[in-house]
Amino acid sequence: MKEITEKDLKKLYYSIGEVAELFNVNTSLIRFWEKEFTIIQPKKNKKGNRLFTPKDIVNFNKIYHLVKTKGFTLDGAKKALKTFDKDSEEENKIQPINNDITDEIIIKLDKIKQRLLSLKTIK
């Protein structure tokens, strides 16, 4: 299944039927995952109909990918999402790059590579 991003979604709100159709699943699965995962928080209108934002759909896509594609359990998916959120926050922080350290690491890695290649030819 193709990954869905917020850029792909044109509307402000999507009904539960539209979300189910996007992922080719039953609406009951969407309701179930809504209860299981706190990152899916649709708004409800006066009638009680769920209205999913593009952000909800992107989060649903992450869950779908973890559970249906990668075979995670629900608990495993919850843990992975927490880790994913922390990693995303870290990626967004600007960190200076120290070129001296980078060059030093590259030199050490090259030495290790040469040593491993020499061991490979010995055997």
Number of domains observed in the structure of the chain:
1
Q: How far is CA 63 from CA 35, 39, 71, 88, 96, in A?
A: 13, 10, 11, 16, 33
Which range of residues forms the domain containing residue 17?
6-96
Is 105 inside a domain boundary? no
Q: Which domain CATH number covers 51?
A: 1.10.1660.10
Instruction: For the full predicted model, state whether its pTM sits above 0.85.
Output: no
Is 117 inside a domain boundary? no
pLDDT digits (tens, 9 = 90+) for 14-65: 999 999 999 999 999 999 999 999 999 999 999 999 999 999 998 999 999 8
CA distance 60 to 62: 5
What is the average pLDDT across 94-119?
Answer: 75
What is the average pLDDT across 107-113?
Answer: 87
Q: How far is CA 30 from CA 57, 62, 120, in A?
A: 10, 13, 53
Is 1 inside a domain boundary? no
Long-range CB pairs of 13-18, under 8 A, 24+ apart, other chains included? 13/43, 13/51, 13/52, 13/53, 14/51, 14/52, 14/53, 14/54, 14/57, 15/49, 15/50, 15/51, 15/52, 16/42, 16/49, 16/50, 16/52, 18/52
Instruction: Say whether pLDDT at 94 is over 60.
Output: no
Is 103 inside a domain boundary? no
Instruction: Say whether pLDDT at 106 is over 90.
Output: no
